[in-house]
């Protein structure tokens, strides 16, 4: 009897196995069709492999250009940076705005934190994953932004995913710029509040939406401070004025502003003089502030306390690794010691923009180190980026779905550790490649 049951089970399992194999074959077919469509559209994104530290000059696997080893200048004298070597590929597409990703003091702080606090916590914050290094960094972030408190996340994507659902209820409303970052859009989708989308930077449309949203309990206007694809800056003065007029709160994502916009690098709210009118700031440690990883929310104390109780990415993610916290903390120290770097970045950004426009290129945005060189066609952007690499310049073409169809571009990002010679060489390569591909006459 027992043998009969075993035989029956084996026979029953065989068709299931065949069905499972058929499902896997079907899945492969669906995936290959999707991948081929991406290749056919010219929007395939290849990952170049860097075999050196992040910096203005890097070494790329399979691309000649020397070891790309840089000697970093003294304590945060980045505006006077002169590289000891001209070898390596010039990197013009990193979010390494202040050049701190490989700063010796930042690296040393990471090594010290690794030695003192270990590789990781193997825990979420509320169980046994909070160390003094986390609390110290949160206090430093709140002080830097002149807010009451701050809370750390594994990334700013997680910070955006965890904010709106915890804060807003069905009787509330959120009003979002149509070109906000994908993480803001995804975070808003998770919440149960009424959702309004206003046209990009259109204050008349925002006001109309605010008037419509007066029936809700809380109204939160959500915007990027600096928009990462176009390099334009939100009109925070006008947004805050409208928010005050219609009883709304203001949330700003400062990922592409923290550390280098504003007189002391506090961000777009400092740049536009509305630090006391922005309620909530989310930002990252993974760009200007060391470039490793991590994000945060800073704002009113009760909000941060609520996020510690209800924010799902915070509650269900491991703590930020101590080495990452140590690097970010040192980056903040360096930034608060001197703001000379901010002035140098502005001059270098203007140098690149003016030379590119004089050559005949269209560069979006104004005065931000994100400089989108508009090309329109996805294949053109990709091919030009490949040819730029052959000439020793590392840039990437951006196309759909990262940007709208027909608005492909090469996004150039200026770093404080780029020299004027680096910038001029980049422009020269753009002109040469642009003429080769018919993007310039």
The residues annotated as belonging to the active site are 228, 256, 287
Q: Smallest Cα–Cα separation from 232: which of 204, 265, 271, 263?
A: 271
H helix or E strand, kind and range, residue 412: strand 408-413
Q: Which of 147, 330, 174 is nearest to 254 (CA)?
A: 147
**Residue closest to 167 by CA, chosen among 141, 195, 198, 193:** 193
Helix (H) / strand (E) element for 334: namely helix 322-337
Q: What is d(CA 12, CA 309) in angstroms, rounded to the nearest whole number?
A: 48
> Helix H segments across 146-192?
156-167, 182-190
Which of 271, 267, 297 lies closest to 97, judged by CA? 267
Q: How far apart are CA 110 and CA 96, in angstroms?
A: 17
Helix (H) or strand (E) holding 376: strand 370-376
Nearest Cα residue to 288 out of 177, 416, 394: 416
d(CA 237, CA 240): 5
């Amino acid at each position: 009897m027992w043998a009969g049951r075993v035989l029956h089970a084996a026979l029953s399992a065989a068709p299931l196995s065949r069905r499972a194999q058929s499902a896997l074959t079907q899945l492969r077919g669906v995936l290959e069709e999707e991948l081929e469509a991406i290749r056919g559209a010219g929007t395939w994104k290849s990952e170049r492999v860097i075999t050196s530290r992040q910096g203005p000059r890097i070494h790329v696997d399979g691309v000649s250009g020397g070891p790309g080893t840089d000697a970093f200048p003294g304590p945060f004298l980045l505006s006077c940076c002169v590289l000891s070597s001209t070898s390596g590929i010039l990197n013009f597409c990193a979010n390494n705005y202040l050049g701190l990703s490989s700063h010796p003091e930042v690296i040393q702080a990471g090594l010290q934190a690794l030695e003192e606090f270990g590789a990781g916590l193997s825990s979420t914050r509320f169980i046994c994953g909070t160390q003094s290094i986390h609390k110290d960094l949160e206090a430093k972030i709140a002080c830097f932004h002149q807010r009451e408190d701050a809370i750390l996340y594994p990334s700013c994507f997680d910070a955006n995913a965890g904010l709106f659902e915890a804060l807003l209820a069905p009787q509330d409303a959120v009003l979002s710029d149509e070109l906000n970052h994908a993480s803001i859009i995804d975070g808003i989708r998770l919440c149960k509040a009424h959702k309004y989308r206003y046209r990009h930077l259109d204050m008349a449309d925002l006001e109309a939406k605010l008037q419509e949203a007066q029936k809700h309990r809380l109204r939160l206007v959500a915007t990027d401070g600096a928009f990462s694809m176009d390099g334009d800056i939100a009109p925070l003065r006008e947004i805050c004025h409208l928010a005050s007029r219609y009883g709304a709160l203001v949330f700003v994502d400062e990922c592409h502003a923290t550390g280098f916009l504003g007189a002391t690098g506090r961000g777009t709210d400092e740049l536009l003089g509305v630090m006391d009118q922005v309620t909530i700031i989310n930002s990252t440690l993974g760009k200007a502030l060391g470039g490793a990883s991590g994000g945060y929310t800073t704002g009113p104390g009760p909000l941060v306390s609520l996020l510690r109780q209800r924010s799902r990415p915070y509650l269900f993610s491991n703590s930020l690794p101590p080495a990452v916290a140590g690097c970010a903390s040192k980056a903040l120290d360096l930034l608060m010691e001197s703001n000379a770097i901010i002035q140098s970045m502005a001059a270098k950004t203007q140098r690149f923009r003016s030379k590119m426009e004089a050559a005949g290129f269209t560069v979006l945005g104004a005065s931000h180190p994100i400089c989108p060189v508009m090309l329109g066609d996805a294949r053109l952007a990709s091919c030009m980026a490949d040819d730029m690499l052959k000439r020793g310049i590392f840039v990437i073409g951006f196309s759909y779905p990262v940007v709208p169809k027909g608005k492909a571009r090469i996004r150039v990002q200026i770093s404080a550790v780029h020299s004027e010679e680096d910038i001029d060489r980049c422009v020269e390569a753009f002109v040469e490649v642009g003429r080769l591909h018919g993007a310039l006459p």
